[in-house]
Amino acid sequence: MSLKVKDIDKIMEEHAPSKFKESYDNVGLMIGERSAEITSILVALDCTLDVIEEAKEKKCNLILTHHPLLFRKPLNITNDTLLGKKIIEIIRNGLNVYSSHTNLDSIKGGINDIVMQLLGLKKYDTISLSDKRKDDDHSTGIGRIAVLDEPITVLELCDKIKKDLNISMLRYSGKDEMKIKKVAVINGSGQEYFNAAKRLGADCIITGDTTYHYVSDLNEEGIAVIDAGHFGTEWPAMQVFAKWLKDKLEFMGFSNFVYISEFNRSPYKYK
């Protein structure tokens, strides 16, 4: 039985329905042919030029990313732009690109939930529920918030995050010995949900891509912020998702290999 692009589209739509994406987002098949047979699949956070080359080397004709390659409408597709170079290279080599972004963040068992599980947080609520969910769905939406079984200091929580998410460095605000009882977790860029997390009583927010004034204000209000990076709060969960996809395909009787990108890295370096 051959796996086709349209099969992946169906699997992903059942797992993370596109209706749960945020209004600004773009998800689904970015580039490709729905009737094309899939060789192997490469899972990555971003569709970088390095990831495209990796897909070619590994003979993967489907790249499945979290971040959409086509986020904003391009004005043109030429070799003069980075996006144009990527699109031309993808089409020239018969590759397909599929992205599942904020819809995959939001759903039960998605990126938000996986990060909570990696951090050992089992009982949690959703910060901002999706308006597209059914009445009996109390989990689909952006961000998670949990009461810790035992209070932990800011420094202890920083060490735990580094260990659980396998990251070497992070930045934080708040008094080192302040006891944290309730944490909010928003993978990726979470500043839009800071006020909601504060209203729900979070005394620490774990996210990425924070900026000075937001963090400074929360610091004055006695709320700690741990910035583990956009990459750091999403890539570990995407690796877990890749394992889910592999198991799902095997259960359905497909033998296509699912690779986890070795060349998808954070663009940041620390000195």
At 166 the pLDDT is 96
Q: For the chain, what is the mean pLDDT?
A: 97
Does residue 66 have a known ligand-binding role? yes
Amino acid occupying residue 32: G
Give the N- to C-terminal CA distance of the chain in Å, as an integer.
Answer: 50
Give the distance from CA 145 to its chain's centroid.
17
Average pLDDT over residues 55-68: 98
What is the pLDDT confidence band of residue 10, given thresholds at 50, 70 and 90? Answer: very high
Average pLDDT over residues 172-190: 97
Do 161 and 116 touch, CB atoms closer than 8 A?
no
At 50 the pLDDT is 98
Domain 108-227 has CATH 3.40.1390.30: yes
CATH architecture, range 5-104+235-260:
3-Layer(aba) Sandwich (3.40)
Tokens 């951090």, residue?
119
Q: Per-residue pLDDT tens for 196-255?
A: 999 999 999 999 999 999 999 999 999 999 999 999 999 999 999 999 999 999 999 999
Q: CATH 3.40.1390.30 in the chain: give the residue spans.
A: 5-104+235-260, 108-227
Going from the C-alpha of 185 to that of each of 80, 84, 271, the distances in angstroms are: 39, 35, 27
Task: Say which DSSP state 81 is in.
Answer: S
What is the pLDDT confidence band of residue 165, given thresholds at 50, 70 and 90? Answer: very high
At 75 the pLDDT is 86
Average pLDDT over residues 87-105: 98
Does residue 15 have a known ligand-binding role? no
What is the pLDDT confidence band of residue 72, given thresholds at 50, 70 and 90? Answer: confident
Does residue 230 have a known ligand-binding role? yes
What is the pLDDT confidence band of residue 17, given thresholds at 50, 70 and 90? Answer: very high
Q: Between 74 and 218, name the one with better pLDDT.
A: 218
Q: Which of 32, 60, 139, 44 is nearest to 100 (CA)?
A: 44
Q: Between 19 and 75, name the one with better pLDDT.
A: 19
Does residue 67 have a known ligand-binding role? yes
